C-alpha cells in the first residue's frame, strides 16, 4: 500500500520560537539547559503535527541548532583548528563559534544551499581527523520513539554530497577523504540498525548536478560499503531540486529506495522512468508535492502522475512525498486572514502540504472516489485566482513587451567613456570607500516601525523619526571618513519586502517566515499578479540624505532578479516574463532618482547566482535573461550617472562574463567570508569595470583588525586594476550593532588610507 513521507519540516516554529531561543542564548539571556529544553519542545511539536496529519514516514534529525551541514561536520569532529576543541561532542560555544565567528576567530564560510535561498556553513576539512563524536540521528530516532511513539526516518546528509559541499582538500584527495568518512557513516548506520530503525534517508542532492565518471564510481563504492554493513536497514537514497542525469547509474545502486523530484525535475525524471524503467527491487519516493513553492497543488494532475507511476512501480513500492524538505516554505496559512480571499485559498504552506501528501496517498490506497469531494474542493479553490483581474493586466503586458522590443537594453556609451565622465563629475580619491547600503536597525528603529504599522504613530511622526536616523548616520559617515554615503535604509524592513509593498502585483503574509541562514528568517513577498510601478519608492529619503552632505549619496534599490529569486513567484507565467515586469517597474524608479539629482544608484543583485539552474545546459539561457533584466532596469540613465550593484555568498567563477555583461559601473562582491577565495576568480578572468571586494565579514560580530583588511586589499590588487578598485564591507550592516559597525568602518577607512599611500605611486 502506498505510504506517505516528508523529507524535512521547517525548524523555526509558527512564531519563530526557534529563532528567539537561539538569539536569547547568544545574548546571554538563556542558559544552555533552558535552550535545550525549549528546542526539544519545538522539535517534538513538529513531530506531533506530522503524526496528526497521518504521515507514515516522519523525518527525524532534520532539526538543527543552526545548520544541518554544520551538524554533519561536528558529528564527525571536523572543527577548524582556530576554534577550541578537545574531542568528544562539540560544545555549543564552539559549534556557534564556527557558524558565527568569535572575537578571536573568523566564522567558517557560508554559501547557498544549491539554488535555494538557504545558506549552509561550509565544512573545512584541511588536516581534520574525523571521528564519530555522537550519533545524532540515533538520538533523534530514540527521542521520537520514546516521547511520541513515532517510528522515525532518520535523515542524514550523504557522504558524496558532504564532500562536494566541503572545502580544504585537493580534488586528488577525494578518495582518501571518502575512505576516512565511510567507516563513520557505517558506524552511524550500524547503530541505527541495532536500534531497530526500518528506513533511513541519505540525502544526495549533488546527484542532480553534473558528476564525473569518477564521482559516480565513488558513489557506487560508498553505497556498496554502507549497505553491505547493514543489510537489515532500508536506505532511501534521496535526491531533490532537479532531475538526475546519471539515472542508470543511480538506479543500479545497492539501496532499497530512491527518491526523485517530480516537481522541479519532473520532465527529466519522468522521461528516464518511461524510457528505462524502475528496478523491481526498489521503492520509489515520488516527490510530487512542491517543497519549495507555496501554491496549492493541482491535485487531479498530481494524482494522474502518481497513477502513471503506479503503472511502472507497484503501489506497495510507491511513497508519496514532498519534492524536497519543507524547510523552504512557511509553516502554516492558518493565520493569514488578511490576504485576499482568492489568494489565501490558493496557498499551501508546510502544514497544508502535509495534508496534500496524506490525501494523495489515501487516493492511491483507496481509490480516487474515496477523496472525490476533497479533490473537487481543491480544484475550486484555485479558480478565483486564475481568473482574477490582478493576474490578467493587458496594460502591463503590453507596456513591458513594447519596452523589450523598442531597443536593446544597454547604456549609450561603453564603460571606459562613462568612467571618465563619472570621475570628472565626482572626483573620487583612489580606492573610494563606501558601504553596501543598510545601517544597524536598532531596537528603537524596530519599535518605531511597529508603532507606525499599528497606527499608534501617524505618517508624519514616523517620517520625522526616519529623518532623525538619517541625520545621525550621515553625520557619522562623514566623521568616519567614507567617500560615498548611503541614507541607511531605516525605513525598510527587508530589501525585497520594502519594494514589493510599493509595487502592484504583490501580497504579504503576516507569519510567512522561512529560514535564510542561522537564526536569520525572511518573509518572502508573494508575486501573485502582474507587476507594475505605482509611485516613487526611495526618492524622498535619498534626496533628503543628499541634502545633508556635499559627498555623493547612493540611491538604493533591489534588482529584478533578486526580487524574483527572493519571492514566492506565481506559477502561471515563466520566471523570465516576471523578471521583465519587475525590471520595467524598477527602471521607472531609477529614472525618478536620477531626475531628483541622485547621480549614484545601486541596484543590488545578490541573488543572481542562486537562481542559476542546476543543469549546466540551462545556464546560458538563464544568465541571458537575467542580464537583460538588469540592463533593462539601468540602461536609460545618463553617462555621468554611476550604476552600482552588489552580490554576495555565492560562487561566481563560472559567471564572471555574465557579471561583466550586466555593465554596472561598480560591483561589490563578498569575499571576506570566503576567506578571500573569490579573488581566485579574477586570477584567470580579467575584470574591466569598477569593483569592490568586501574587506570584512558583516555576518560575524567580531571587529576585524586593520591588518586583516589591508591583507585582503593587497591580495585583490594583484589581479585587479587599482584605478577601478573600491573598498567596502561584504554586505549591508542592518543586523550589526552600532558600536561594532562604527569601529569596523573606522578600521576600513584606515585600511584604505594605508592602501592609498602604498599604491599612489603605481597609479
pLDDT at 674: 56
Stretch 733-738: mean pLDDT: 85
Q: Is 438 known as a binding-site position?
A: yes
Q: What is the mean pLDDT of the chain?
A: 93
pLDDT at 188: 98
Q: Is 124 known as a binding-site position?
A: no
Q: Does the pLDDT of residue 6 top 80, yes or no?
A: yes
Edge-to-edge strand list for the sheet holding 568-569:
503-507, 526-533, 568-569
Instruction: For strands 283-289 and 257-261, give the pairing.
Output: parallel
Q: Is 635 known as a binding-site position?
A: no
Q: Is 437 known as a binding-site position?
A: yes
Contact 604, 556 (CB under 8 A): yes
Q: Is 302 known as a binding-site position?
A: no
Q: Is 276 known as a binding-site position?
A: no
pLDDT at 398: 94
Q: For residues 500 and 505, what is the distance between their CA atoms, to the nearest angstrom?
A: 8
Q: Is 648 known as a binding-site position?
A: yes
Q: Does the pLDDT of residue 366 top 70, yes or no?
A: yes
pLDDT 10s digits, 25-49: 999 999 999 999 999 999 999 999 9
Within 13 A of 329's CA, how many CA atoms are on the CB side? 28
Q: Is 117 known as a binding-site position?
A: yes
Q: Buried (b) or exposed (e) across 363-398, using 16+ Cβ within 10 A?
A: bbeeebeebeeebeebeebbeebeeeebbebeebee
Categorize the per-residue pLDDT at 652 as very low, low, confident or very high, splitting at 50, 70 and 90.
Answer: low
SS3 call for 84: coil
Contact 431, 483 (CB under 8 A): no
How big is the CA angle at 609 (ends 419 and 563), to the nearest 5 degrees?
85
Q: Is 718 known as a binding-site position?
A: no
**Phi, psi angles (nearest 5°) of residue 258:** -135, 125
Stretch 259-274: mean pLDDT: 97
> Any idea which of 153-167, 538-552, 735-749 has the lowest mean pLDDT?
735-749
Which three-class secondary structure string do you get for 639-695? CCCEEEEEECCCCCCCCHHHHHHCCCCEEEECCCCCCCHHHHHHHCCCCCCEEEECC
pLDDT 10s digits, 452-464: 999 999 999 999 9
CB count within 10 Å of CB 151 equals 15
Stretch 72-97: mean pLDDT: 96
Report CA Rg, the chain.
Answer: 26
Q: Does the pLDDT of residue 649 top 60, yes or no?
A: no
Alpha carbon 248 to chain centroid, angstroms: 31
Which residues in 143-296 belong to E strands, given as ranges?
Answer: 153-157, 199-203, 234-238, 257-261, 283-289
Q: Is 731 known as a binding-site position?
A: yes
Instruction: For strands 257-261 and 234-238, give the pairing.
Output: parallel
> Any idea which of 67-81, 152-166, 669-683 has the lowest mean pLDDT?
669-683
Q: Does the pLDDT of residue 654 top 80, yes or no?
A: no
Q: For residues 231 and 182, what is the distance between their CA atoms, to the nearest angstrom?
A: 16
pLDDT at 715: 87
> Any idea which of 274-288, 505-519, 602-616 has the lowest mean pLDDT?
602-616
Q: For residues 708 and 391, what is the distance between their CA atoms, to the nearest angstrom?
A: 51
Whether residue 675 lies in the annotated active site: no
pLDDT at 650: 54
Q: Is 670 known as a binding-site position?
A: yes
- Which CATH number is 3-66+136-386 given? 3.20.20.210
- DSSP alpha helix (H) spans, 454-603: 459-480, 497-500, 539-547, 560-565, 575-595
Longest dimension (CA), the chain: 82
- Which CATH number is 394-408+415-762 given? 3.20.20.210
pLDDT at 179: 96
Q: Is 675 known as a binding-site position?
A: no
Q: Which of 487, 486, 488, 492 is nearest to 449 (CA)?
A: 492
Q: Is 638 known as a binding-site position?
A: no
Stretch 735-741: mean pLDDT: 87
Which three-class secondary structure string do you get for 288-337? EECCCCCECCCHHHHHHHHHHHHHHCCHHHEEEEECCCHHHCCCCCCCCC
Q: For residues 674 and 119, what is the distance between their CA atoms, to the nearest angstrom?
A: 13
Q: For residues 615 and 267, what is the distance between their CA atoms, to the nearest angstrom?
A: 13
Q: Does the pLDDT of residue 672 top 70, yes or no?
A: no
Above pLDDT 70, what percent of the chain? 97
Q: For residues 551 and 553, what is the distance between their CA atoms, to the nearest angstrom?
A: 6
Contact 248, 265 (CB under 8 A): no
Of 68, 119, 328, 699, the active-site residue reads 699
Q: Is 16 known as a binding-site position?
A: yes
Residue 176 is placed in which grid cell? 582518501
Which residue shows C-alpha cell 524596530? 446
Q: Does the pLDDT of residue 70 top 80, yes or no?
A: yes
Which class for 750: exposed (0-12), middle (13-18), buried (19 or more C-beta within 10 A)? middle
Provide the terminal-to-terminal Cα distance of the chain, rounded to the nearest Å.
74
Domain residue ranges in the chain: 3-66+136-386, 394-408+415-762
Which residue shows C-alpha cell 528603537? 444
Q: Does the pLDDT of residue 698 top 80, yes or no?
A: no
pLDDT 10s digits, 146-162: 999 999 999 999 999 99
pLDDT at 648: 74
How many residues are there in the chain? 763
pLDDT at 141: 98
Q: For residues 392 and 384, what is the distance between their CA atoms, to the nearest angstrom?
A: 12
pLDDT at 244: 96
Categorize the per-residue pLDDT at 659 as very low, low, confident or very high, splitting at 50, 70 and 90.
Answer: confident
Residue 374 is placed in which grid cell? 476533497
- Report which DSSP code applies to 600: E
Residue 27 is placed in which grid cell? 545574548
Q: Which residues fall within 8 angstroms of residue 126, CB to CB, at 6 or more apart? A: 80, 81, 168, 169
Q: For residues 482 and 327, what is the distance between their CA atoms, to the nearest angstrom?
A: 40
Categorize the per-residue pLDDT at 52 as very low, low, confident or very high, splitting at 50, 70 and 90.
Answer: very high
Amino acid at each position: 500500500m502506498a505510504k506517505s513521507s516528508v523529507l524535512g519540516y521547517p525548524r523555526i516554529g509558527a512564531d519563530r520560537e526557534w529563532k528567539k531561543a537561539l538569539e536569547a542564548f547568544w545574548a546571554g539571556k538563556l542558559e544552555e539547559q533552558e535552550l535545550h529544553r525549549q528546542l526539544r519542545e519545538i522539535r517534538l511539536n513538529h513531530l506531533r503535527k506530522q503524526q496528526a496529519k497521518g504521515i507514515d514516514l516522519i523525518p527525524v534529525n532534520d532539526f538543527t541548532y543552526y545548520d544541518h551541514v554544520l551538524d554533519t561536520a561536528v558529528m564527525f569532529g571536523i572543527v577548524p583548528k582556530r576554534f577550541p576543541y578537545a574531542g568528544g561532542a562539540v560544545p555549543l560555544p564552539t559549534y556557534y563559534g564556527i557558524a558565527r565567528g568569535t572575537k578571536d576567530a573568523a566564522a567558517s564560510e557560508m554559501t547557498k544551499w544549491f539554488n535555494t535561498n538557504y545558506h549552509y556553513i561550509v565544512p573545512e576539512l584541511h588536516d581534520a581527523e574525523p571521528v564519530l563524536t555522537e550519533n545524532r540521528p540515533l538520538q533523534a530516532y530514540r527521542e521520537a520513539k520514546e516521547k511520541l511513539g513515532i517510528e522515525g526516518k532518520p535523515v542524514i546528509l550523504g557522504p558524496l554530497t558532504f564532500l562536494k559541499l566541503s572545502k580544504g582538500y585537493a580534488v586528488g584527495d577525494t578518495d582518501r577523504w571518502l575512505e576516512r568518512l565511510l567507516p563513520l557513516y557505517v558506524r552511524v548506520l550500524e547503530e541505527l540498525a541495532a536500534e531497530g530503525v526500518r528506513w533511513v534517508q541519505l540525502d544526495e542532492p549533488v546527484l542532480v548536478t553534473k558528476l564525473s565518471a569518477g564521482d559516480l564510481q565513488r558513489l557506487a563504492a560508498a553505497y556498496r560499503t554502507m549497505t553491505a554493513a547493514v543489510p537489515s536497514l532500508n536506505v532511501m537514497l534521496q535526491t531533490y531540486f532537479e532531475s538526475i542525469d546519471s539515472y542508470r547509474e543511480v538506479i543500479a545502486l545497492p539501496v532499497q529506495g530512491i527518491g526523485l523530484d517530480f516537481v522541479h525535475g519532473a520532465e527529466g525524471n519522468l522521461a528516464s522512468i518511461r524510457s528505462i524503467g524502475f528496478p523491481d527491487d526498489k521503492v520509489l519516493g515520488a516527490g510530487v508535492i512542491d517543497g519549495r513553492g507555496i501554491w496549492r497543488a493541482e491535485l487531479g494532475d498530481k494524482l494522474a502522475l502518481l497513477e502513471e507511476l503506479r503503472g511502472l512501480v507497484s503501489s506497495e513500492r510507491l511513497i508519496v512525498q514532498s519534492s524536497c524538505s519543507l524547510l523552504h516554505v512557511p509553516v502554516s496559512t492558518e493565520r493569514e486572514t488578511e490576504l485576499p480571499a482568492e489568494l489565501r485559498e490558493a496557498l499551501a504552506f508546510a502544514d497544508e502540504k502535509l495534508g496534500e501528501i496524506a490525501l494523495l496517498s489515501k487516493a492511491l490506497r483507496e481509490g480516487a472516489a474515496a477523496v472525490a469531494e476533497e479533490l473537487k474542493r481543491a480544484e475550486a479553490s484555485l479558480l478565483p485566482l486564475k481568473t482574477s483581474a490582478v493576474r490578467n493586466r493587458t496594460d502591463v503586458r503590453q507596456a513591458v513587451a513594447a519596452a523589450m522590443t523598442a531597443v536593446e537594453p544597454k547604456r549609450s556609451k561603453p564603460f571606459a567613456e562613462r568612467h571618465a565622465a563619472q570621475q570628472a563629475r565626482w572626483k573620487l580619491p583612489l580606492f573610494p570607500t563606501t558601504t553596501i547600503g543598510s545601517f544597524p536597525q536598532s531596537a528603537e528603529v524596530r519599535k518605531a516601525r511597529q508603532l507606525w504599522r499599528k497606527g499608534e504613530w501617524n505618517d508624519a511622526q514616523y517620517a520625522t523619526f526616519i529623518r532623525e536616523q538619517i541625520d545621525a548616520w550621515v553625520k557619522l559617515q562623514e566623521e568616519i571618513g567614507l567617500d560615498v554615503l548611503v541614507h541607511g535604509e531605516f525605513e525598510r524592513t527587508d530589501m525585497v519586502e520594502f519594494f514589493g509593498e510599493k509595487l502592484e502585483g504583490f501580497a504579504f503574509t503576516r507569519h510567512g517566515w522561512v529560514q535564510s541562514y542561522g537564526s536569520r528568517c525572511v518573509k518572502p513577498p508573494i508575486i501573485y499578479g502582474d507587476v507594475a510601478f505605482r509611485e516613487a519608492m526611495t526618492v524622498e529619503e535619498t534626496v533628503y540624505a543628499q541634502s545633508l552632505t556635499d559627498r555623493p549619496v547612493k540611491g538604493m534599490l533591489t534588482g529584478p532578479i533578486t526580487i524574483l529569486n527572493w519571492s514566492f513567484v506565481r506559477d502561471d507565467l515563466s520566471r523570465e516574463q516576471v523578471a521583465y515586469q519587475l525590471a520595467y517597474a524598477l527602471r521607472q524608479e531609477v529614472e525618478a532618482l536620477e531626475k531628483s539629482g541622485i547621480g549614484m544608484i545601486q541596484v543590488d543583485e545578490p541573488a543572481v547566482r542562486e537562481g542559476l539552474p542546476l543543469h549546466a545546459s540551462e545556464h546560458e539561457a538563464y544568465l541571458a535573461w537575467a542580464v537583460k533584466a538588469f540592463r533593462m532596469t539601468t540602461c536609460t540613465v545618463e553617462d555621468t550617472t554611476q550604476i552600482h550593484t552588489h552580490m554576495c555568498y555565492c560562487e561566481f567563477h563560472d559567471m564572471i562574463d555574465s557579471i561583466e555583461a550586466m555593465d554596472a559601473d561598480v560591483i561589490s562582491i563578498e569575499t571576506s567570508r570566503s576567506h578571500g577565495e573569490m579573488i581566485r576568480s579574477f586570477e584567470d578572468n580579467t575584470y574591466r569595470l569598477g569593483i569592490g571586494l568586501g574587506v570584512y565579514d558583516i555576518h560575524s560580530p567580531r571587529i576585524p583588525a586593520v591588518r586583516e583588511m589591508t591583507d585582503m586589499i593587497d591580495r585583490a590588487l594583484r589581479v585587479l586594476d587599482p584605478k577601478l578598485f573600491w573598498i567596502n564591507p561584504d554586505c549591508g550592516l542592518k543586523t550589526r550593532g552600532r558600536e561594532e559597525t562604527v569601529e569596523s568602518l573606522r578600521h576600513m577607512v584606515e585600511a584604505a588610507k594605508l592602501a592609498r599611500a602604498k599604491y599612489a605611486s603605481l597609479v
